């Protein structure tokens, strides 16, 4: 998706069999990085993936500091349409 800044982000969603949803992102456009983050967010991965901040974006800041990621801060995220499971 395109961020307000003009940069691109790859966003991943993980759905568990018991209905939990997790989200992940990367600004490096590495699908594995975003997918691992989404799996951790959904409770599937035990270890939190490491993220080297790249842009100083609020999502990176929140993730690194252990805070809730402000997904709604990017209009493009709210506009994403997810396929049902």
Mean pLDDT to the nearest integer, 39-56: 95
Per-residue pLDDT at 85 exceeds 60: no
Q: CB under 8 Å, gap of 24 or more: what pairs does 1-9 form? A: 1/74, 1/76, 1/77, 1/80, 2/76, 3/57, 3/74, 3/76, 4/74, 4/75, 4/76, 5/55, 5/57, 7/55, 7/57, 9/59, 9/74, 9/76
31: pLDDT confidence band, cut at 50, 70 and 90? very high
Per-residue pLDDT at 27 exceeds 80: yes
Mean pLDDT to the nearest integer, 14-25: 94
pLDDT digits (tens, 9 = 90+) for 50-67: 998 999 999 999 999 999
């Amino acid at each position: 998706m395109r961020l307000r800044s003009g940069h691109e982000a790859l966003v991943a969603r993980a759905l568990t069999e018991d209905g939990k949803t997790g989200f992940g992102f990367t600004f490096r456009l590495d699908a594995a990085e975003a997918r691992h983050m989404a799996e951790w967010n959904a409770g599937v991965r035990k270890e939190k993936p490491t993220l080297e901040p790249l842009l100083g974006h609020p999502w990176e800041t929140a993730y690194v500091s252990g805070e809730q990621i402000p997904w709604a801060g990017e209009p493009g995220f709210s506009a994403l349409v997810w396929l049902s499971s």
